[in-house]
Structure 1
Amino acid sequence: MSFPNPVGLSSFDQLSQEPSFDALIIVSSTIGFSHHEGIDAQIRNAAKTDHRVGKEIVFLHSDDCPGHRLIHAPTADLTRDVADVRDFGDAAKQAIEMAKNAGAVNPVIAVEGLPKHESFQEALSVAYLSACQSLWKPLEGREVVGEEKLEPVKTIGLLDPDNRLDINYLAAVESGRRLARDLCGTEPERMAPPKFAEYCEDAFKGSDVKVTVESDRADLEQKYPLLAAVARASQSVTRHQPRVVHLTYEGEGPIEQTLMFVGKAVTYDTGGADLKVGGHMAGMSRDKGGAAAVAGFMKTVAELKPKGIKVIGAIGAVRNSIGADCFVADEIITAHSGKRVRIGNTDAEGRLVMCDLLSHCRAQATNEANSQLFTIATLTGHAALTAGPYTIFVENAPARNNKLASNLQASGEIWGDCAEISRPRREDWKIIRPRSEADDLLSSNNGASVSVARGHQFPMTFLSVASGLDEHGQYSDKPLPYCHIDIAGSGVESGDWQHDKPTAAPVIALAGHFLKG
């Protein structure tokens, strides 16, 4: 599973010593190039006759550049209040495509005109990660056409005169993101639950991450009754049968922090008995982006091998099929926590897939060091409607008291993986309240989340209550910080779930906060 390897360059003079480099990409908010007088003069002279220079991306022939290829990629106006480090990433995406199309396979990226504000300190890293995002091609295409043809760029040099970059860290993050994109972006048969589990097993072979996979139907029904209900109609098709994937990493030395992630891997979501109609089923093979991000973050952990930390990933991989044996609204199912859950809508399946896994994590967390729990999912259309292309963190009171979401948000701002923050409110409990003595809570309303007030907050409340986590609030004897991460808006690049590239959000933000010390 290859990707363009980052190569640090401490000076422009190193390029003459590395003949393999074949293009220079300057991502800049200004005109010119401070590292070479000849190239600086060429860009300024070009700007006199070509008014596109400094306003849009241009390609110039240059005898002073590797491969004689010079690409100047301007950022947006960085004096705007809304400017952020992603402006460098956006320019790098355009530039790397131009370099690739021009025949470059080992380009170099340099950044110019950095604002002094600390929020731009990782601009070069963001440019690299954004370039890799642009260059990624779908797994199915690579397997049929070949990686060599579809992904010709082998290395990306990064001009880093201040020696600030951690090249190993960048490679580890991109390794995780690539795994996450592959898992999320692959069609529903190639990445059905058993194959999703197999891909995870292969990805962690020989690493410090232990992988175990549960597949026995009786065991799944006993340990994860809500997940098993969602998967019920898929059991008759062997290749669609559910899997629970456990990923565990334990670093060297005394464990000072435990991170527990639960990921939703609905490998195809028909909506179940509450069938998705009107063309809304297209793209539902990407309803596994949350679990893909969990696996991706674990891959980054495996590459970096941090000490003193334990990281646990629990993935529920199911297909929400429709058929004679599908679960239906009105059923009452007793969760692992003992809570009786009345099904409100079978198209609100993701919270059911994660709930029992979260309950098991909750039970384990009380015996672990400094536990923090997360669910990650492409959960609600309401999140995309509310925040557009941004991840949303919804945290409980213990997490808020620890500034968990705000710290993750700050990391995302620096690394270009931006997010918004929300919190549960008392109205959310009213939505899921029981309506009779027959059950303890309702899984969802029976309308689309986009039409319901607080449509992305109340599912977090359901997860908290149904998993038993609400019993570990800020006033309990054992408070447990919990943050639900909804990536329905950020999981693909621009909202087209059938065709757009997966982003691997929020792997970058998680890594920046927990692994970049």
Structure 2
Amino acid sequence: MAFPTVEVVESYSAAHNDYDAVILVGDYAQQLPAEFADFVERAQQNDQRIGKQPLLVTADVFGGRLITAPTGPLTRDYDDVRQLADAAGAAAHIAQQAGATKPLLVVFGTQSDARYGQAEAVAYWGLCQALYEPLEAREALGEDAIETISTVGVVGALDHEWLTAVEAGKRVARDLCGTEPERMAPPRFAEYCQQAFAHTPVKVTVIDDIQQLHHEYPLLMAVGRASLDVERHWPCVVRLEYCAPAAEQTLMFAGKGIVYDTGGADLKTGGHMAGMSRDKGGAAGVAGFMKTVAEMRPDTVNVVAELGVVRNSIGAEAFVADEIIKAHSGVRVRIGNTDAEGRLVLADLLSHLRSQAGNYPRPQLFSVATLTGHAALAKGPYSALVPNGPARATGLPERLWEAGEVYGDPTEISWSRREDFAFVAPRTKADDVLSSNNGSSAATPRGHQFPMAFLTIAAGLDHHGNDSDHPIPYVHVDIAGSGVQGGDWQHGKPSAAPVTCFAGAYLHK
């Protein structure tokens, strides 16, 4: 599980001569670092593209290669740190194609703006994102053969452990999200997790006994029912636990891990099934965050996660709309559409976590999922945060929003409203809650907010609001718009959202 090793360098003049290229990231309309100003000015006399697009020029720097990586303006109201990640990523491709294996990354011109407090770190992660190759490609062709940049130097006052820990987590998230449905079928997803957390303080428990799953995760097993005819597709729950030595708070995650989503009996048609191997992006993101936890080993933060790893198959045993299924919480759920399967999986996971929350200090619950097309339509490339009352009262969504802005993993907040709860209210006394309507979420008003209302009721969290004796902060995180680059769920590179956001909010001092 290699990725470019990072070396923190105090300054360009203090760097060693092993580097074979320099990547210079910043706004070229502003003052350039003195070490490179003459080289850039001479290059601009011959090529007006310098400073306007990423290019390689020959210069008296390490390796004779100076790669100009302009961000464009960084001072406008709408500029953000992702511009540095994008520029570094574009330059990384040029460095790799030029044959460099050890570039030095230099970021300039951001010191005076609080938005760019993690500029160098975000640029390094952007470089790694650009250079990442899929797990299947690495296994077939060899990591060293296709991921040829081995080391990256980063100039700045940085924490080497922090940079490495976050990138390790992001790599786990990309691997789990992006890998095809047979290579990452539920048992192999669990195996990957066991290997990723071997020899770390994170305990991995795989619940794969079918009878136990039927008993303890009935909604999850309804989704997985049609997959039971194929043993290699059998569902499981992967539980990850990190116990801090002096815990003051506990983060509890439910991750949606649908390794392939056919839509079930409400079959996806018109080409919309392609890319549904990425419907496990929520569980992947949670596992990635847990990998960063394993590397950072925080003293005061417990983290507990349950990942529901299931294939939503089609067949004679498939669950169908109109069924009423009693959840782990005891709530009777009427199925509105079998293609709204992820919220069923999450509901059982959240119910388990809710029932355990009293055993931990200051529990905070999160569900993370590629849940709705509406989130992608409404929020574009941003993770949607939908908090309950206790989370809102404690400022939890704002904390995540602020971290996402600084660490280059941005979010937007959506509020839970009474209309959302009315939408999922039962129509008869035969059931307690409706899982969904039977239309597209993207065409449904409040299509990414009402699922949070369903989760609240189906998981029993409606008994832990601000009006209860035991309120539990809960935030639903929909990454349907942020989980892959460019919104291309079939071919886009997994983004590893929301690993960096949560790491920035809870792990970095």
Q: TM-score when scaled to structure 2? A: 0.98
Check the 8 A contact 1:31/1:44 in 2, yes or no: no
Instruction: Report the alpha carbon displacement of residue 35 of structure 1 after superposing the two structures with TM.
Output: 4.9
Distance in 1 (alpha carbons) for counterparts of 2:244 and 2:360 = 14
Superposition map of 1:214-229 within 5 A? 214-229=207-222
Instruction: Report the alpha carbon displacement of residue 366 of structure 1 after superposing the two structures with TM.
Output: 2.2
Instruction: Report the alpha carbon displacement of residue 28 of structure 1 after superposing the two structures with TM.
Output: 1.4
- The equivalent of 2:180 in structure 1 is 187
Structure 2 unmatched ranges of 5 or more: none
| 3-state SS in 2 of match to 1:408 | helix
Q: Which of 56, 75, 82 is the aligned partner of 1:79?
A: 75
Q: Deviations over 1:358-417 (max 9, x none)?
A: 001001112310000000000000000001111000000100011101110100000111
Check the 8 A contact 2:187/2:235 in 1, yes or no: yes
- The equivalent of 1:344 in structure 2 is 336
- The equivalent of 1:246 in structure 2 is 239
- The equivalent of 2:407 in structure 1 is 415
- The equivalent of 2:94 in structure 1 is 98
| 3-state SS in 2 of match to 1:494 | helix
- The equivalent of 1:12 in structure 2 is 12
Structure 1 unmatched ranges of 5 or more: none
Instruction: Report the alpha carbon displacement of residue 502 of structure 1 after superposing the two structures with TM.
Output: 0.2
- The equivalent of 2:310 in structure 1 is 318
Superposition map of 1:266-415 within 5 A? 266-415=258-407
Q: Which of 48, 51, 63 is the aligned partner of 1:51?
A: 48
Check the 8 A contact 2:30/2:109 in 1, yes or no: no
Instruction: Report the alpha carbon displacement of residue 455 of structure 1 after superposing the two structures with TM.
Output: 0.3
Letter of the 1:14 partner, please give it.
A
Check the 8 A contact 2:237/2:307 in 1, yes or no: yes
Check the 8 A contact 2:67/2:95 in 1, yes or no: yes
Q: Deviations over 1:269-312 (max 9, x none)?
A: 00000000000000000000000011000000000111022100
Check the 8 A contact 1:333/1:341 in 2, yes or no: yes
- The equivalent of 2:150 in structure 1 is 154
- The equivalent of 2:203 in structure 1 is 210
Q: Which of 172, 176, 192 is the aligned partner of 2:169?
A: 176
Letter of the 1:51 partner, please give it.
Q
Letter of the 2:17 partner, please give it.
P
Aligned residues with identical type, % of pairs: 56
| 3-state SS in 2 of match to 1:235 | helix
Distance in 2 (alpha carbons) for counterparts of 1:294 and 1:84 = 25
Letter of the 2:343 partner, please give it.
R
Structure 2 CA distance for partners of 1:44 and 1:31, relative to 1, 3 Å:
farther
Letter of the 1:152 partner, please give it.
T
Distance in 2 (alpha carbons) for counterparts of 1:448 and 1:84 = 32
Letter of the 1:343 partner, please give it.
I
Distance in 2 (alpha carbons) for counterparts of 1:11 and 1:379 = 44
- Alignment of 1:124 with 2:120, yes or no, is yes
Aligned-residue Cα RMSD (Å) equals 1.1
Distance in 2 (alpha carbons) for counterparts of 1:205 and 1:79 = 44
Distance in 2 (alpha carbons) for counterparts of 1:115 and 1:431 = 48
Letter of the 1:60 partner, please give it.
V
Letter of the 1:241 partner, please give it.
W
Superposition map of 1:504-515 within 5 A? 504-515=496-507
| 3-state SS in 1 of match to 2:328 | coil
Distance in 1 (alpha carbons) for counterparts of 2:290 and 2:12 = 35
Instruction: Report the alpha carbon displacement of residue 509 of structure 1 after superposing the two structures with TM.
Output: 0.5
Distance in 2 (alpha carbons) for counterparts of 1:33 and 1:140 = 44
Check the 8 A contact 2:388/2:474 in 1, yes or no: yes
Q: TM-score when scaled to structure 1? A: 0.97
Distance in 2 (alpha carbons) for counterparts of 1:95 and 1:273 = 46
How many residues are treated as equivalent by the alignment? 509
- Alignment of 1:2 with 2:12, yes or no, is no
Check the 8 A contact 2:33/2:108 in 1, yes or no: no
Distance in 1 (alpha carbons) for counterparts of 2:287 and 2:89 = 25
Check the 8 A contact 1:27/1:72 in 2, yes or no: yes
Letter of the 2:178 partner, please give it.
G
Distance in 2 (alpha carbons) for counterparts of 1:389 and 1:370 = 31
Distance in 1 (alpha carbons) for counterparts of 2:32 and 2:333 = 63
Q: Which of 456, 459, 464 is the aligned partner of 1:464?
A: 456
Distance in 2 (alpha carbons) for counterparts of 1:368 and 1:159 = 40
Distance in 1 (alpha carbons) for counterparts of 2:494 and 2:456 = 28
- The equivalent of 1:489 in structure 2 is 481
Check the 8 A contact 1:393/1:405 in 2, yes or no: yes
- Alignment of 1:23 with 2:21, yes or no, is yes
- Alignment of 1:432 with 2:428, yes or no, is no
- Alignment of 1:502 with 2:494, yes or no, is yes
| 3-state SS in 1 of match to 2:96 | helix
| 3-state SS in 2 of match to 1:109 | strand
Instruction: Report the alpha carbon displacement of residue 33 of structure 1 after superposing the two structures with TM.
Output: 7.6
Letter of the 1:55 partner, please give it.
K
Distance in 2 (alpha carbons) for counterparts of 1:32 and 1:429 = 51
Instruction: Report the alpha carbon displacement of residue 79 of structure 1 after superposing the two structures with TM.
Output: 3.1
Distance in 1 (alpha carbons) for counterparts of 2:127 and 2:368 = 25
Check the 8 A contact 1:32/1:40 in 2, yes or no: no
Letter of the 2:507 partner, please give it.
L
